[in-house]
Amino acid sequence: MKYPVAKPYITDGDIERVTKVLKSGWLSLGPEYREFESKMSEYCESKYACAVSSGTAGLHLAVKVVGLKAGDEVITSPFSFISSSNCLLYEGVKPVFVDIDEETYNMDATKIEAAITSKTKAILVVHIFGQTADMESIMRIAKKHNLKVIEDACESLGSTYKGIMAGTFGDVGVYAFYPNKQMTTGEGGMIVTDDKEIYDLCSSLRNQGRNPDSEWLVHERIGYNYRMDEMSATLGVGQLDKIKWMIDRRVEIAEWYNGYLPEIAPKTGKYRNHTYFVYVVRVKNRDKVMEKLTSAGIQTKTYMPVIHLQPFMRKMFGYKEGDFPIAEKVSSETLALPFYIGLKREDIQNICSYL
């Protein structure tokens, strides 16, 4: 492939950082994850940040620490990566989907209230593709119905709604650092919250249920090994040091695309800024377009299949085609194009000439 769909941006400085940690011999629970947490909480304007081994691990802990239990229902989006629903299913919590807004591809806030039942305990908001959901409406509904809010901000680091960072509206927010995200730690995630109790509980649960002052082999509760290692954490510090620059580059590339593809370019909702986790266009004859691009050495991906039609979700809940028509229609037409730092205007022009 001449143009892969995604590629991490790793500098010599990043490589030096990781090498230095490797040479130090201190590979876990050292100074680096603390530094990464403190820089992250500063960047996200959140009081506390808790580094974990993946975004999915972070979401799982988020579900636990807001107190969700088996049999509860949580309202969420069917147009997302699978882990935003799996984190609920791990705890026996039922994801209840509402359809999406056709402009931003985020959960349609006007459809939330109709989905609330006596079992509804929370809204799990997914900020899809790099822009936030309609957080003003969602927070208003959550308050009115006394619901917790978990934010899956794994695709939307750095994006804001009315100037407020994705991930910091609700009780707890989660970012992810898989290599295709806005920044990477290899594998990794970060939980952010303003609530000290939530932070303490997350810290304990990621570390086998130990309390901060516990002896190494004393466990206060059932926990997990969801720790982030020091190599990942130091890479995170290096990446975060240049996150503003990296997001600016992503926006620049996206704007080149937008200029060449005005008809099928993604749209940004009111009051928000887009940090472009992926660059996704909307095409009617997607298979044909993909074929043409592939034969020119241009990789594309169908972003994303809807969650409710995944084989195991159909079996568990009996979902079928037509249940969430807007998400299904969008999902059948969206296509991610090559998108990573290093692409030049000429590359974008070249790619667009096949569309």
Ligand X SMILES: *Cc1c(COP(=O)(O)O)cnc(C)c1O
Residues near ligand X, by CB under 6 A: 54-56, 80-81, 83-84, 126, 152, 154-155, 176, 178, 189
Cα–Cα distance measured from residue 221 to residue 240, given in angstroms and rounded to the nearest whole number:
32
Kindly compute the dihedral angle of the four CA atoms of residues 24, 25, 29, 33, in this order, to the nearest 10 degrees: 40
Q: How far is the CB of 41 from ligand X (least distance, A)?
A: 19
Q: Which is nearer to ligand X, 97 or 256 (CB)?
A: 97
Q: How far is the CB of 68 from ligand X (least distance, A)?
A: 17
Q: Which is nearer to ligand X, 52 or 337 (CB)?
A: 52
What is the β-pairing status of strands 334-337 and 279-282?
Answer: antiparallel
Q: How far is the CB of 129 from ligand X (least distance, A)?
A: 9
Cα–Cα distance measured from residue 236 to residue 234, given in angstroms and rounded to the nearest whole number:
5
Q: How many other C-beta atoms lie within 10 A of the C-beta of residue 350?
A: 15
Cα–Cα distance measured from residue 310 to residue 129, given in angstroms and rounded to the nearest whole number:
20
Q: How far is the CB of 53 from ligand X (least distance, A)?
A: 8
Phi, psi (deg, nearest 5) at residue 79: -100, 85
Cα–Cα distance measured from residue 353 to residue 355, given in angstroms and rounded to the nearest whole number:
6
Cα–Cα distance measured from residue 238 to residue 186, given in angstroms and rounded to the nearest whole number:
13
Q: How far is the CB of 184 from ligand X (least distance, A)?
A: 10
Q: Which is nearer to ligand X, 181 or 282 (CB)?
A: 181
Q: Which is nearer to ligand X, 17 or 127 (CB)?
A: 127
Phi, psi (deg, nearest 5) at residue 275: -110, 10
Q: Which is nearer to ligand X, 73 or 151 (CB)?
A: 151
Q: How far is the CB of 118 from ligand X (least distance, A)?
A: 28
Q: Which is nearer to ligand X, 57 or 343 (CB)?
A: 57
Q: How far is the CB of 274 from ligand X (least distance, A)?
A: 15
Q: Which is nearer to ligand X, 46 or 80 (CB)?
A: 80
Q: How many other C-beta atoms lie within 10 A of the C-beta of residue 288?
A: 10
Tokens of residue 197, six digits: 């109790």
Q: How far is the CB of 189 from ligand X (least distance, A)?
A: 5
Which of helix, strand or coil describes residue 323? coil
Cα–Cα distance measured from residue 172 to residue 66, given in angstroms and rounded to the nearest whole number:
8
Question: Alpha helix locations (H) across the chain?
Answer: 12-24, 31-44, 55-65, 83-89, 135-144, 196-206, 230-241, 243-260, 286-295, 311-317, 325-333, 345-352
Residue nearest to ligand X (CB): 55
